Structure 1
Amino acid sequence: MTAVVAVITAACVPHGPKPPDSSAASERGTAGEADGVVPDGVTVFDDGFPAVANLDPGLLRALRRAATDAADDGVTFFVNSGWRSPEYQNRLRREAVSKYGSEGEAARWVATAETSPHVSGKAVDIGRSDATAWLSRHGAEYGLCQIYRNEPWHYELRTHARDRGCPRMYADPTQDPRMQR
């Protein structure tokens, strides 16, 4: 009986890393919520998180309008990443270089703090495939455009898209002239 209880208990405990606590992360010198780290389950309506609260106001308004309409279709917009501090962006870039083996390959996925639209609050990464699929179909109506073909989760505000549609996507950030600074 004890073995069965242990197995059931172990099966119910969530596995994987726990999202970092901002205060504990600061003490360890790692990024936390204050830097833009987003725990699971945060939506575009959760102003208690800097990753959401520090987004460009126009982008946030467009996201919330779209999210309200998407909810009618049973779709929730979860934020995987939004605003990021320069320190957090630099950390993500270093981790990408380590993961991909070179600055050039890392640049396909993570911008520098100087060029990242996340640092200025002008980009958001939306989670879950149903939300990105919804935005892919309806985002232009709100001025929300996918910018990079290799990042279906990354959206930025392009107000002219409401009238003209979203601009052609770049293959990846290395093709984006804004990343060439």
Structure 2
Amino acid sequence: MTYSQPVRTAARPIRIRKRRVVGLLVVLAAIVVALGHRDPGSSSSATSPLPALLGEPRRAALGLTDGAIPDGTSVFDDDVPGVAKLDPALLSALRQAAADAAADGVSFVVDSGWRSADYQQHLLDEAVSKYGSAAEAARWVATPDTSEHVSGNAVDLGPSAAAAWLSERGAQYGLCRIYGNEPWHFELRPQAAGNGCPPTYADPTHDPRMQK
């Protein structure tokens, strides 16, 4: 009895480990089968939820070189293409205004500036998906052929305090709000220094330039 008892106690953990291994193998097999299963009604081009869960961009190639703007970008950041590729006259006016605003404790942050045509199309596609139709999306995002961002002639500024400061004082720099529904969107109107900014359009669909 002194020798048989240790044998029985040693054998028991081995049986338990084997059961665990078998159980794990069964679970792994079930996972493999589930991942390999495909709904007969689906296609290989169906959108996978995994990229969205991982935060993967829909177009990985779109980045700084296409006009994406990092958080906290100022009008003085020449190393950001979205700023550096703005029209020189617009950029000069923005920098003059930003310097004066800073004296009032207001900082300009560039939310969007120059954009490539590909990036503009990407934004338009997203807007159509968000708003449900091309007509509704047009109230917020122009086509690559009509966008003043693609030509480098428009900038979107934040935060709200900066947009408010420029809405009130922008005319003296030739910087004007263009759309009533976009208080952050500014373009250069040199004549505004003497004549004031022109009336805003309700939204881009009322702008004749968007009818090309």
Scaled by the length of structure 1, what TM-score is found? 0.84
Structure 1 CA distance for aligned equivalents of residues 82 and 173 of structure 2: 20
| Alignment partner, residue 5 of structure 1 | none
| Alignment partner, residue 160 of structure 1 | 191
Residues 63-103 of structure 1: CA deviation (Å, up to 9, x unaligned): 00000000000011100000000000000000000000000
Identity value in percent: 65
1:16-165 to structure 2, matched below 5 A, reads 29-165=60-196
- 1:75 is paired with a residue whose SS is coil
Residues 29-69 of structure 1: CA deviation (Å, up to 9, x unaligned): 44101100001000000000000000000000000000000
- 2:135 is paired with a residue whose SS is helix
Return 5+ residue gaps in structure 2 as ranges: 1-54
- 1:170 is paired with a residue whose SS is coil
Q: Which has the larger radius of gyration?
A: 2
- 1:126 is paired with a residue whose SS is strand
Structure 1 CA distance for aligned equivalents of residues 152 and 181 of structure 2: 20
Structure 1 CA distance for aligned equivalents of residues 78 and 181 of structure 2: 28
What is the CA distance between 1:127 and its match in structure 2?
Answer: 1.1
Return 5+ residue gaps in structure 1 as ranges: 1-19
- 2:83 is paired with a residue whose SS is helix
Scaled by the length of structure 2, what TM-score is found? 0.72
Aligned partner of 1:163: which letter? G
Structure 2 CA distance for aligned equivalents of residues 74 and 51 of structure 1: 24
Residues 126-178 of structure 1: CA deviation (Å, up to 9, x unaligned): 01011001001100010000000000000000000000000000000000000
- 1:99 is paired with a residue whose SS is helix
Stretches of 4+ moved more than 2 A in 1?
A: none
